[in-house]
Amino acid sequence: MSLLDVQNFTARIYTDENLRREFATTPERVGRENNLTEKEIAELVAVFPEELNSFAESLRWKRLREVEKLLPLTKKILVADFERHFREFSQTFNPQSVKKHLEDAIHFGNYLRKNEAVPELAVNAAKFECSKLEFYALNKRFIIRRFEFDVETGARKRHLKIWLRFGKKRIVF
């Protein structure tokens, strides 16, 4: 297996709690299924489980803190549920782009929007903040979204938000 493949597998173990648990109980089988050599499996087993679990948890906390910075309204509305939902989300998603925190935030916002357990106000906040991130950070030229709530006041109020870009000029209404 190439170094990149080993790094990708290690990244998956750090971010996927189920895979980490499975690897801890049957490292040879999981290693073979992921094309690891016997030597690579032995090297990972040597650092497992304390160091691996500790590092995985620190990575999850770092991801959470960065996403909280990018989705502050959503965090404010969900309070402690924000962390619980992020923990669930982080089991199924591992950012791949250079802009990992931005990718994490946008995909987490989309996850919240599809989750029926999330209050409607929080769904609207996630939709609003992700739209802003896509427009400003991903340089989208045009975004239009319909909202059921005014996320800044929390009042139920249907409205449209439009972000437009003409060259370097940005218009939001």
Confidence check: pLDDT of 101 > 70? yes
Lowest mean pLDDT, pick from 23-27, 81-85, 118-122: 23-27
Tally Cβ neighbours within 10 Å of residue 10. Answer: 18
Between 27 and 17, residue with greater pLDDT = 27
pLDDT at residue 8 in the model = 83
Going by C-alpha positions, the residue among 121, 115, 103 that lies closest to residue 157 is 121
pLDDT at residue 11 in the model = 81
pLDDT at residue 1 in the model = 61
CB under 8 Å to 52, separation ≥6 — which residues?
A: 13, 14, 20, 44
Q: What is the DSSP string of 28-79?
A: HHHHHHTT--HHHHHHHHHHTTHHHHHHHHHHHHHHHHHHHHH-HHHHHHHT
Model pTM?
0.75
Write out the E strands in 10-126. none
User: What percent of the chain lies above the pLDDT cut of 70?
Assistant: 99
Confidence check: pLDDT of 46 > 90? no
Q: Where are the domains of the chain?
A: 3-48, 54-172
On whether the CB atoms of residues 74 and 63 are closer than 8 A, the answer is no
